[in-house]
Amino acid sequence: MEVQLIPVPTNHRELAAGIDYFFAVLPDDQARAGIAGIGERFCKSHRVSGTWVGADSFHLTLCPRGRTERMLPSLEDALLAAAATVHGSAFEITLDSAMRFSARDGRFPFVLCADGASTESALKLRQAIAEAQRRTGLAVTGVSSYLPHVTLLQGHAVDAIEESIAPIRWTVREFVLVRSFFGQSRQEVVERWPLEPAVAKPPEFFDLSELPDLAELPEDE
């Protein structure tokens, strides 16, 4: 998805006009192709129907826009300022299962879900973004209730789907703020923030000096 810098609004009229924001991570080209391939396979094998998300719009949502707790001169400005204070390390996302969600609005999104290790890493970044928003006057609820996923399709069919898939992996090196438009298949990346390189865990060494003295072995006769 190409970066598009969006003019910063001066008030919250953009929400009334059908515009909202959320923080996300984006798959790389190889992962995006793998996600699209899984969607095509399920479309044929399970006759999955609905409105497909374009490959350029694939994303994994990290954190929604918080609820305004005090008057802010600019909502988007507050989100940008909050994100600029977030620090985190790069991590790997692994999508290893496909399922159909049941949504409150009557839609049934078809999604690919992340594994446990990915969920733990993404949740840490989600919590950091939520806390940064809180400091700027935006409250995010339900932070710990989180299942990272990539949506492929929005449909109305109720056929149950839940099965494992060949893992799709990519390394998350940045997170983004996305501007979305209600009722439109259009999203814009407002800004990107890099994550620090992951620090490799050093190998463990044993200090032989701390071992108890070993009895001398008898000499071979």
Between CA 140 and CA 64 the distance in angstroms is 7
The pTM is what?
Answer: 0.80
Mean pLDDT across the chain = 83
pLDDT in tens, 41-86: 888 777 777 788 889 999 999 999 998 877 777 889 999 999 999 9
pLDDT in tens, 145-187: 999 999 998 876 556 678 999 999 999 999 999 998 876 667 8
At 203 the pLDDT is 61
Domain boundaries, the chain: 14-196
Between CA 33 and CA 217 the distance in angstroms is 61
70 close to 147: Cβ distance less than 8 angstroms: no
Superfamily of segment(s) 14-196: Cyclic phosphodiesterase (3.90.1140.10)
Mean pLDDT lowest for which of 1-5, 105-109, 122-126, 155-159?
1-5
| Region of 25 on the Ramachandran plot (φ > 0 left; ψ -120 to 50 alpha; else beta) | beta
pLDDT in tens, 12-50: 555 556 788 999 999 999 999 999 999 888 887 777 777
161 close to 110: Cβ distance less than 8 angstroms: yes
